[in-house]
Amino acid sequence: MNFNMSLPGLEAFRIKKTVENGGVFQLHVELDVKPHRCPVCNVLTKKVHDYRTQKIQHSKLFVRETLIFYRKRRYKCEQPNCEKRFYENNSLVERYQRQSKELKQAIALELIHGKNFKSVASRFNISSTTVMRRFDEVGSSFLKETEELPSVIAIDEYKGDSDGEKYQTIIADPVDRKPLEILPDRKKETVETYLKEHGQRVEMVVMDMSPSFKAAVDQALGRPIVVADRFHFCRHIYWALERVRRKE
């Protein structure tokens, strides 16, 4: 019996049956037969070679843990000199994975909202190491190595705890308002080395009035235009007025 229900992530699938077993909701699904291109010779084929059932952990449905039993199909190329066997395309699960795309997205949302690894693992009934791997996947999608800095950059320090260093340095794009790189410390040598490797196009640097940053920028970039940020500029004026006030 087929079910005419439509569930998130399963819109393209036919639900063959549902079973509740020990508080776990089980869905048995499959896709319709349709032409697929052979990954070797690129010829269309609808010839089915065999079926294999894959058990997939899914996000909760009806407040119950959910497992999907996906009867996935292998096609066989009909070209006599090819006969490649390959699995059908699907929107449910990525290759070599045991969690559905919907579940991985739900885990990512929990991590983004500041939950710790242990609580997320307990919520989705998976291991902490699986959650940590998902965290790395999400993080790597946002962090791309900057090969060349833009013409305008901003440099600032912030308090952290990376590798025993109390402060790190962040280099950002003030035009597009996005971070570009985080350096492990705020030492002049670290900043200078990075700017020499990636700062060939830099013409303007926005930063505080740190002498070490100024020296690193001048020595690495050949004295570009330096713009002191407003907060630090005004603070130095206030300190100067305060010194005069006290002297008088």
Q: Domains of the chain by range and CATH? A: 1-97 (no CATH), 99-143 (1.10.10), 152-247 (3.30.420.10)
- How far apart are alpha carbons 214 and 199 in whole angstroms? 15
What percent of the chain has pLDDT above 70?
91
pLDDT band for position 112 (cuts 50, 70, 90): low
Reduced 3-state DSSP string for the chain: CCECCCCCCCCCCEEEEEEEECCEEEEEEECCCCCEECCCCCCEECCEEEEEEEEEEEEEECCEEEEEEEEEEEEECCCCCCCCEEECCCCCCCCCCCECHHHHHHHHHHHHCCCCHHHHHHHHCCCHHHHHHHHHHHHHHHCCCCCCCCCEEEEEEEECCHHHCCEEEEEEECCCCEEEEEECCCCHHHHHHHHHHHCCCCCEEEECCCHHHHHHHHHHHCCCEEEECHHHHHHHHHHHHHHHHHHC
Residues 211-227 have pLDDT tens digits of 899 999 999 998 899 89
pLDDT band at 5 (very low <50, low <70, confident <90, very high): low
Longest dimension (CA), the chain: 99
Higher-scoring residue by pLDDT: 161, 207: 207
Rounded mean pLDDT, 52-67: 91
Main-chain dihedrals φ then ψ at residue 100, nearest 5 degrees: -70, 160
* Residue 115 pLDDT > 70: no
Question: Across all residues in the chain, what is the average pLDDT?
Answer: 87
What pLDDT shows up at residue 114?
59
Which pLDDT score, from 0 to 100, does residue 180 have? 86
Q: What is the pLDDT of residues 116-175, one digit of tens each?
A: 788 888 888 888 888 888 877 766 655 566 788 999 999 998 876 666 778 888 899 988
Is the predicted pLDDT of residue 48 greater than 80, yes or no?
yes
